[in-house]
Structure 1
Amino acid sequence: MACSEDVLGNRFTCSGGPALMSDGAFFWRLDAADYVEHYGVALPEEFLAHGTARRWTTARPLTREEIVEVDDRLGELRRAGNL
C-alpha cells in the first residue's frame, strides 16, 4: 500500500492515499479528504449535491463489472494525459 505525502505544504501523510474511492457516480483519491480538511479545498457543487442527496452513504458495494468499468475509464483518462 502506497503512502501519499501532502504536495501543498507537508501538513500530512496518508497511508493508501493514492487509492481510488468511488460511489459508482464519482471517484476520488483516498487522500482528497485530507486536502479538504487541511486546506479547505473546494469540492464540485455536483459532487456535494450528489452526496447530500444520498446522505453520504453508498447504496451498495460496486460489482466487479462496475469496478472494471471505472478502472478502464481511469486508464483512458491516464493515457490521454487527463489524470
Structure 2
Amino acid sequence: MIQRAIEAEGIRTAAISHLPKVTEKVRAPRSLYLRFPLGRSFGGAGSIDLQRQILQDAVQFAVTGEPESIVELPYRWKR
C-alpha cells in the first residue's frame, strides 16, 4: 500500500475512503470516510468550497489523526 510506504519515510498521510469496512481490513494509516458515490471523493464538479474544505480536513487529519483511525466527515452527497 503506497500510503504505508510514505508513512514509513516519516511523512504522515490521510486517505479518503468510501468503503470503511475495506479500509479497516487493510489497516490504512489514517482515513476519512465520506458518504459520497465512488469516484466523487471531493464532491460534485464545481463544488469549490466543499472541495477546499475536504482537502483542508484531510491535511489537518494527516497532522493530528491517530494511526489506523477512520473518521467520518459530516458532508452528505446532494442529488
Task: Please give the TM-score of this superposition, normalised by the length of structure 2.
Answer: 0.23
Normalized per residue, which structure has more strand? Answer: 2
Which of structures 1 and 2 has the larger relative contact order (alpha carbons within 8 angstroms, sep 6+)?
2
Q: Which has the larger radius of gyration?
A: 1
Task: Please give the TM-score of this superposition, normalised by the length of structure 1.
Answer: 0.23
